[in-house]
Amino acid sequence: MIVQSRSSRIIRTVVGWTVVAIFAFPLYYWLTVAFKEGNEIFNWPPKVWSFSPTVKNFEEVFGISLGFDFGTKQEVLPGGGDFRMGPRLWDSIVIAVFSTALAVSIATLAGYALSRMNFRGRHHFVAWVLSTRMMPPVAVAIPVFFIYKDIALLDTYTGVILIHALMNLPLAVLLMKSFFDDIPKEIDESALVDGASRWLIFRRIVLPMVKGGMSATAVLCFIFSWTEFLFVLTLTQTGLKTVPVVSSTFVTSTGTAWGNMAALGAAAMIPAFIFIMLVQKHLVRGLTLGSVKQ
Amino acid sequence: MKLGVLSADRPLVWMLPLIAMLVAFTIIPLFYNIWLSFHEYAPFKRRLEFVGWENWRLLFSDVRMWEALWTTMFYFGVVLTVELVLGMAIALLLDAEEFGFGVLRTVLTMTLVVPPAIVGMMFLLIEDPEFGVLTFVLDSLGILDKSTPILATGSTALWGVMLADIWQWTPFMVLIFLAGLRSLPPEPYEAAMLDGASPVMTFRRITLPLMSKVIAVAVLIRGIDVFRMFDYVFVMTSGGPGTSTYTLSLYSWQQTFSFIKWGYGATLSLFTLVIILVIANLFIWLAKVRW
């Protein structure tokens, strides 16, 4: 390690804190808006530190919906103006949970085969999966919109869940493959020699060893589904909407409901923050589709 | 040993669900899109009509498409470069155990989990001409007058959008580079120190070459996402003012769903797809990225 002087260490500490403070500022400011009354949001100069906090925005977005029956479906009112977001949070949760479960299950099976079995064209297969990650969402959303219209999947949970699962598959498959690659192949091979079947080895020996990897993959899939915008925007109409898409309807012709939007946005970030903290150990590996290990 | 069709010894059995999903949601839509690009919706007859190569001819003569392509390329170049350079600088800065640096690295991960559409809203608010914080700062510093709205002025709108992207994804680069920096072997640095190499020389001759694989992967993944960017422009400017912030993704989406030009929208999205595939695969080949 390079020995540094005391003064250079102090400079480094100060610069580091300043840079991160600049990055944290938009989040902080968004949070203050969530707790501000309308007139304080529109203040010039903008109120950054001193304002009288209120939970009115949260009450408007969630208060009414606290006693709301999540089971019944409530339609999205066109043109905004409806700030009860309970049903929209529910939509987001259903879609994120089910698409994650689907993507991780498919990816675990495929990842095992890609990591453990030798077959012709394996390299090409990985390239195909990777190239799916390159497809621009519009190039998928446009044809899928018309196909969904024909087979009545437009504006349904199933339709969005399937497309979110697809969107996460390249990440999930490559990531699961890299977690399987971490486990020595000799374990499988010796069990095979002992006469155990592939499926038994997978279920009883290998699967328990990649649990951590599976939960890391699941968290990333959940977050990408939770934050996805274009597919939900295109493939839903009035039946359901996730939080990011419904936020954009807060911009109405009579003005933007910044306070409500910030309250909803802030609340929607909380589950994602918590989840990402849980998998910090595998975060970089996940973000790089399994190719950079920490 | 007898192999049944559904025997677990066959790799295909394990990958069947994946293949089914990929065929259903990438191969079939791709062919549907190609089919669509040779048709156009006729509003008065309320049906799709075969138009031959018309959409493809239109594509190459469409001034707006060339503008959108240029905007996309410019956005791609600037955002990727800034995120790469800034990301590396911040990673080098935070690669130490000074007071609270662990907390700082954690704080940086937070930007990554905010929905990009909501980041767009955040920056819409921050750059608002009436009460935005950034407007206030720039106005006070005399850089940009309050009477010039950042997102409603042709010359500044795209920069306003870029700022949201850079804010959200520079930490992505920082985290990846930090992981890369931490896995570097100490020996070359000890040798460099004995030789009295300057920090700049050490970075250029040792850190960069050893980090090249990590950098290539980060640039590839970020590059793909930057090129197909949609959320920020859709939320912040919808392509405006005028056509100054139209990206290829937004332009094809709007042609399809706002202007009911289904065939032309499909053609534009295919064109976007082809460009991404060419650039990304060229990069993978040149940088020798392996999975």
Q: Of A181, A238, A168, nearest to A213 (Cα)?
A: A181
| Residue A249 three-state SS | coil
Residue of B nearest to A108 (CA): B14
Residue A20 sits in the same domain as residue A85:
no
The model's confidence at residue A2, banded by pLDDT at 50, 70 and 90, is: low
- CA distances A242 to A183, B160, B212, Å, are 38, 26, 39
Contacts of B162 (CB under 8 A, 6+ apart): B75, B78, B79, B82
Alpha carbon of residue B212 to chain centroid: 20
Q: Is there a contact between A293 and B193 if contact means CB atoms under 8 Å apart?
A: no
Q: How many domains does chain A have?
A: 2
Contact A105, B239 (CB under 8 A): no
Is A157 in the same domain as A255? yes
Residue B91: the pLDDT is 96
Cα separation of B179 and B26, whole Å? 33
Ordered DSSP codes for chain B: ----TT-TT-HHHHHHHHHHHHIIIIIHHHHHHHHHTTEEEETTTTEEEE-TTHHHHHHHH-HHHHHHHHHHHHHHHHHHHHHHHHHHHHHHHHSS--TTHHHHHHHHHGGGGS-HHHHHHHHHHHT-TTT-HHHHHHHHHTSS-TTS-GGGSTTTHHHHHHHHHHHHHHHHHHHHHHHHHHTS-SHHHHHHHHTT--HHHHIIIIIHHHHHHHHHHHHHHHHHHHHT--HHHHHHTTT-STTTT--HHHHHHHHHHTS--HHHHHHHHHHHHHHHHHHHHHHHHHHT---
In 3D, which of B37, B33, B38, B32 has the Cα closest to residue B50?
Answer: B38
Average pLDDT over residues A197-212: 92
How far A40 CA sits from the closest chain B CA (Å)? Answer: 10
Q: Do B167 and A23 touch (CB under 8 A)?
A: yes
Å between A73 CA and nearest CA of chain B:
24
Compute mean pLDDT per 10 residues along chain B, 291 residues long, and list them: 71 93 95 96 88 94 96 97 97 92 92 94 91 91 87 92 97 96 91 90 92 95 96 92 93 94 96 96 91 77
Question: Per-residue pLDDT tens for A48-74?
Answer: 887 888 888 887 887 654 433 444 444
Taking the CA of residue B255 and the nearest CA in chain A, the distance in Å comes to 11
Q: Do A110 and A251 have their domain in common?
A: yes
Would you say residue A111 lies in a domain? yes
Query: Nearest residue on chain A to B11, judged by CA atoms?
Result: A113
Residue whose C-alpha is closest to residue A214's, from A103, A288, A291: A103
Asked, for residue A215, whether it belongs to a domain, the answer is yes
CA distance A71 to chain B (A): 25
Instruction: List chain B residues with CB under 8 Å of A107.
Output: 18
Query: Which helix (H) or strand (E) segment is A255 a member of?
Result: strand A255-256
Query: Mind telling me how many Å the CA of B38 is from chain A's nearest CA?
Result: 13
pLDDT band at A80 (very low <50, low <70, confident <90, very high): very low
Could you tell me if A27 and A137 lie in one domain? no
Polymer length of chain B: 291
How many beta-carbon pairs under 8 angstroms link A with B? Answer: 282
Residues A109 and A209 in one domain: yes
Domain boundary pick from A54, A72, A91: A54
The residue type at A6 = R
- CA-nearest residue to A230 within chain B is B231
**Beta carbons of A106 and B21 less than 8 Å apart:** yes
- What is the fold, at CATH topology level, of the domain defined by B75-263? MetI-like fold (1.10.3720)
Pair (A159, A19) in one structural domain: no
Give the integer Cα–Cα distance in Å for B125 and A30: 9
- A92 and A169 co-located in one domain: yes
Residue A20 domain boundaries: 6-54
Does A292 fall in a domain?
no
CB contact under 8 A, B18 and A30: no
Q: Name which of A30, A174, A229 is nearest B117 (Cβ-Cβ).
A: A229
- Calpha distance A24→A208 (Å, rounded): 38
Residues A169 and A211 in one domain: yes
Q: Is residue A197 part of a domain?
A: yes
CA A213 centroid distance within chain: 16
Give the pLDDT score at A66.
41
Closest approach of chain A CAs to the CA of B155, in angstroms? 23
Q: Looking at the structure, do residues A179 and A86 belong to the same domain, yes or no? A: yes
**Across A139-144, average pLDDT:** 96
| Cβ count within 10 A of residue B229 | 23
pLDDT tens-digit profile of A231-254? 999 999 888 899 999 888 777 666
Distances from the Cα of B172 to the Cαs of A166, B88, B166, in angstroms?
A: 23, 11, 10
Amino acid B5: pLDDT? 72
Global pTM exceeds 0.95 = no
Q: Which of B104, B113, B266 sits opposite A223 (nearest CB)?
A: B113
Q: Is A30 helix (H, G, I), strand (E, B) or coil?
A: helix
Q: Which residues pair with B47 in a beta bridge?
A: B42
For residue A31, the chain B residue with the least C-alpha distance is B122
Do residues A144 and A259 share a domain?
yes
Look up residue B290 and give its amino acid.
Answer: R
Distance (Å, rounded) from C-alpha B171 to C-alpha B93? Answer: 13
Residues of chain B with CATH 1.10.3720.10: 75-263
Q: Does B249 contact A137 at a Cβ distance shorter than 8 Å?
A: yes
Q: What is the pLDDT of residue B3?
A: 61
In a domain, residue A293? The reply is no
Q: How far is A60 from chain B (nearest CA, A)?
A: 19
**Could B29 and A144 be called an inter-chain contact, meaning their C-beta atoms sit closer than 8 Å?**
yes
- Residues of chain B with Cβ-Cβ distance to A1 below 8 Å are 186
- Whether A294 maps to a domain, the answer reads no
Question: Which value does ipTM take for this structure?
Answer: 0.93
Q: Which residue of A has its CA nearest to B265?
A: A142
Residues of A whose CB is below 8 A from B178: 284
Whether residues A250 and A128 share a domain: the answer is yes
Mean pLDDT of all residues in A155-181: 96
pLDDT of the residue at A82 = 54
What is residue A1's predicted lDDT score, i.e. its pLDDT? 46
Tokens of A128: 């195909």
> What average pLDDT does range A1-29 have in this prediction?
88
CB A105 within 8 A of CB B232: no
**Confidence class of residue A77 from pLDDT cuts 50, 70 and 90?**
very low
| CB-based contact A261 B121, cutoff 8 Å | yes
Are A14 and A139 part of one and the same domain?
A: no
* Sequence-separated (6 or more) residues with CB below 8 Å from residue B84: B173, B215, B218, B219, B222
B151: which chain A residues are within 8 Å (Cβ-Cβ)? none
Residue A1 covered by a domain: no
CB contact under 8 A, A134 and B265: no
Phi and psi at B119, nearest 5°, equal: -60, -40
For residue A225, give the CATH number of its domain.
Answer: 1.10.3720.10
Among A96, A99, A104, CA closest to A210? A104
Q: B259 to chain A: which residues are within 8 Å by CB?
A: none
Nearest to A110 among B15, B30, B110 (CB): B15
Identity of the residue in A117, A139, A288 whose CB atom sits nearest the CB atom of B218: A288
